[in-house]
Amino acid sequence: MLDTVQAAPEDTPAELRRDLAIAAIDATIVDVPTVRRHKLSQTSVTAQSYVIVRLRLAGGAEGIGEAATLGGPRWSEESVEAMKANIDAYLAPAVLGQPADRFEALGLRLDQAAKRNNAAKAAIETAAFDAVGRALGLPVSALLGGASRDRIPVLWTLASGDPAQEIEEAERKLAARLHRTFKVKIGALAPAADMARMRRLAQALAGRAELIVDANQAWDETTAARCLPQLAEMGVALVEQPVPAWNLGAMARLRARPGTPPLLADECVFDAHDMLAVAQAAAADAVSLKLVKHAGLLGLRRVASVAEAAGIGLYGGCLLESSVGAAAHLQVFSTFRALEWGCEHFGPQILTGDLVTEPLRFEDFHVHLPSGPGLGVTLDPAALRRYARP
């Protein structure tokens, strides 16, 4: 990887403009093992796969971006194999030679080159922001209006399916003052088994931790209507996407029922139009924001703006990103005036190794915004070689 350089103070505007042109884009698939099985309603993973994008400017500055999946094209239609193929064949050629700092114009070109492919587009846009930030000596947050916070409350996900193991895991996180909010992945088991598991967790952590539940679209409306009041009685603070993404009507009806805890929209919101539909249907209390859904930092901000206008809370979602993807999320999250539900960017901690030279800092139940230009993290070439897929 080329060393990054900053524009010299004596550079003229015309020279700087030439320096900011996109000269090269490279995409690499990596597979990083996880410290334990991460089980969702529709799949489970023991290694996390990413596409790492490296984007070099004509002036020499280089930026990085990341696209993540969970177990292949099960969470959305994209897989890392498809991402790399589409970046190489369609998306990268569409922006080569273009000014990297004209982010909206880049997004338009990416949209003209391919429909959806949101995660692949997000990785390219993130790398462009990182490269421009490094060239100008500015953090990405400054390119988005400036940070309003330097740390964000961060939760941990319990997803092994074994309540005894999960209680032990939560106790370690509490003792280390890393996390005091835990999101529990349910839906892979029968509803009765999931409710029994949740009762054990709620009783063990009562008064010391907050619980959030993610059903990952596993229930139909009848099952959700039966289970949601039980979760509310256990003190669960938020329930994510209990029914399929297409069924906004069910989300709205469930939300209107007495005894339903606050609902978090995830898979039903990929763009600002989806967010508007959720708001109009009064179908959610909060929305999970993810670069892989919203096609980049600007798309994420557009979704957040619609949610804010509708009085819907913001929640920083994740797909087990490494420090590269997590740093990108933190840069944009830091610019929000309010992030009511914090974030879940614990991903670097669940990996057996990270992809950057200095991983993100987790302490006192917060994840800290990395300092420095661009994303604030630097890709580790040795780690990239170690985890790169042949």
Give the lowest-confidence range in 29-33, 72-76, 145-149, 183-187: 72-76
Note whether residue 389 is domain-resident: no
Note whether residue 184 is domain-resident: yes
Q: Are residues 231 and 257 in the same domain?
A: yes
Give residue 8's pLDDT: 42
Note whether residue 1 is domain-resident: no
Note whether residue 275 is domain-resident: yes
On the 0-12 / 13-18 / 19+ scale of CB atoms within 10 A, 191 is middle
Contact criterion met (CB below 8 Å) for 179 and 173: yes
The C-alpha angle with vertex 197 and arms to 367 and 75, in degrees rounded to 5, equals 60
Confidence bin at 18 (pLDDT 50/70/90): confident
Mean pLDDT, residues 214-240 taken together: 97
Confidence bin at 44 (pLDDT 50/70/90): low
Active-site residue, selected from the candidate residues 62, 78, 267, 344: 344
Give residue 231's pLDDT: 98
pLDDT at 11 over 70: no
**CATH number of the domain enclosing 79:** 3.30.390.10
As given in the structure block, the two tokens for residue 268 are: 């039903």
Q: Are residues 101 and 183 in the same domain?
A: no
Give residue 43's pLDDT: 58
Q: Are residues 89 and 177 in the same domain?
A: no
Spatial CB neighbours of 234, under 8 Å, sequence gap ≥ 6: 198, 199, 202, 211
Give residue 5's pLDDT: 40
Judge whether 344 counts as a catalytic residue: yes
Q: Are residues 245 and 211 in the same domain?
A: yes
* Neighbouring C-beta atoms of residue 105, cutoff 10 Å: 12
Q: Are residues 154 and 109 in the same domain?
A: no
Give residue 308's pLDDT: 98
Q: Are residues 30 and 124 in the same domain?
A: yes
Judge whether 185 counts as a catalytic residue: yes
Confidence bin at 192 (pLDDT 50/70/90): very high
Note whether residue 388 is domain-resident: no
Note whether residue 2 is domain-resident: no
Give residue 10's pLDDT: 52
Domain closes at, from 102, 137, 172 = 137
As given in the structure block, the two tokens for residue 256 are: 């209107």
Q: Are residues 114 and 189 in the same domain?
A: no
pLDDT at 188 over 80: yes
Q: Are residues 74 and 189 in the same domain?
A: no
Domain closes at, from 137, 169, 193 = 137
Percent of the chain with pLDDT over 70: 94
Give residue 16's pLDDT: 66
Q: Are residues 271 and 338 in the same domain?
A: yes
pLDDT at 4 over 60: no
Q: Are residues 68 and 193 in the same domain?
A: no
DSSP-based three-state secondary structure for 100: coil
pLDDT at 1 over 50: no
Full domain range(s) for residue 34: 13-137
Note whether residue 5 is domain-resident: no
Active-site residue, selected from the candidate residues 121, 173, 185, 290: 185
Give residue 271's pLDDT: 97
**CATH number of the domain enclosing 148:** 3.20.20.120
Give the HSE-up count for residue 67: Cα atoms under 13 Å, Cβ half-sphere: 32
Note whether residue 124 is domain-resident: yes
Residues 323, 326, 331, 332, Cα dihedral to 10°: 160
* Neighbouring C-beta atoms of residue 98, cutoff 10 Å: 15
C-alpha distance from residue 131 to each of 22, 45, 71, 217, 244 (Å)? 9, 31, 29, 37, 38
Mean pLDDT, residues 109-129 taken together: 98
Give the lowest-confidence range in 18-32, 35-49, 242-256: 35-49
Domain closes at, from 137, 158, 185 = 137
Q: Are residues 253 and 339 in the same domain?
A: yes
Count the domains in the chain: 2
Q: Are residues 281 and 320 in the same domain?
A: yes
How far is the C-alpha of 99 from the C-alpha of 88, rounded, in Å? 19
Q: For 253-293, how does the pLDDT look when each residue is reduced to its tens digit (9 = 90+)? A: 999 999 999 999 999 999 999 999 999 999 999 999 999 99
Contact criterion met (CB below 8 Å) for 198 and 186: yes
Q: For 346-364, how does the pLDDT look when each residue is reduced to its tens digit (9 = 90+)? A: 999 999 999 999 999 999 9
pLDDT at 296 over 60: yes
Give residue 47's pLDDT: 87
